[in-house]
């Protein structure tokens, strides 16, 4: 009787061990063919109220009721209180803004320091700001007034302009001494954008001269 029990126990143990081995093999196979998890490590911050994103020391430090702001960099949007829908990328970018909204400022080095309460501006470049400590709205500045970057840009290349027309009536594009673009009649101190020069015109002369 004891011999029968011993054989029966051995058979049961072998069957159990075989089942465990099969389960482990299946688990390893599933793990091997499963898609690799794609995520950054450590995981990005989340859970901020009002769909807000803040990365950097004191970024959006003063925020109260403003919503959907994105601040990346030390002191980016540090004084923003009620402003919404702003994007500030770079250290000290848009740092003086309090209530302005819909500003997109990328560059760092204090870019957009002049904006406090105005909106709808786009600045691109390190240290880009208005020529003076004042607010402005609805303005685009690209590498303009950028002392941190060593001065203003000396060359600009923009694709899709040469050879393109905008309609039956085309107005000349003018540039004033401050680099502002606009249309209108040429005035003193303005430069008119012209098409590339094709060379001197050819003159014809009579054969019998």
Same domain, 20 and 51: no
pLDDT digits (tens, 9 = 90+) for 105-162: 999 889 999 999 999 999 998 888 876 657 999 999 988 765 544 556 677 788 887 7
Q: What is the mean pLDDT of residues 184-209?
A: 51
The more confident residue out of 24 and 191 is 24
Same domain, 181 and 126: no
pLDDT digits (tens, 9 = 90+) for 62-120: 999 999 999 999 999 999 999 999 999 999 999 999 999 999 999 988 999 999 999 99
Cβ atoms < 10 Å from Cβ of 173? 14
Residue 82: give the domain boundaries: 45-154
Domain boundary among the residues 127, 154, 181 is at 154
Establish if 57 belongs to a structural domain: yes
CA distance 84 to 63: 10
Same domain, 79 and 143: yes
Same domain, 179 and 144: no
CA distance 127 to 111: 4
Same domain, 88 and 133: yes
pLDDT digits (tens, 9 = 90+) for 179-190: 788 887 655 554
Establish if 206 belongs to a structural domain: no
> CA separation (Å) from 88 to 22, 58, 153?
55, 13, 21
- pTM metric for this prediction: 0.66
Same domain, 61 and 137: yes
Q: What is the mean pLDDT of residues 6-22?
A: 55
For position 195, what pLDDT does the model report?
47
Same domain, 19 and 98: no
How many structural domains comprise the chain? 3
């Amino acid at each position: 009787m004891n011999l029968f029990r011993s054989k029966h126990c051995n058979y049961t143990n072998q069957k159990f061990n075989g089942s465990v081995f099969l389960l482990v093999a299946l688990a390893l196979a599933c793990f091997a063919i499963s898609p690799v998890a794609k995520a950054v490590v450590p995981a990005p911050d989340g859970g901020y109220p009002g769909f807000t994103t803040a990365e950097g020391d004191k970024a959006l430090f003063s925020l109260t009721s403003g919503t959907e702001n994105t601040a990346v960099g030390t002191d980016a949007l540090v004084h923003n209180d009620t402003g919404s829908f702003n994007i500030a990328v770079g250290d000290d970018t848009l740092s003086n803004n309090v209530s302005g909204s819909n500003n997109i400022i990328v560059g760092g080095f204090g870019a957009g320091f002049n904006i406090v309460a105005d909106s709808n501006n786009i600045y691109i470049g390190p240290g880009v700001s208005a020529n003076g400590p004042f607010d402005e709205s609805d303005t685009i500045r690209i590498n303009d007034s950028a002392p941190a970057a060593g001065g203003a840009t000396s060359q600009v290349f923009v694709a899709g302009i040469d050879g393109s027309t905008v309609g039956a009536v085309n107005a000349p594009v003018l540039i004033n001494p401050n680099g502002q673009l606009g249309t209108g009649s040429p005035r003193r101190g303005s430069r008119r954008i012209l098409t590339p020069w094709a060379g001197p015109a050819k003159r014809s002369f009579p054969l019998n001269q």
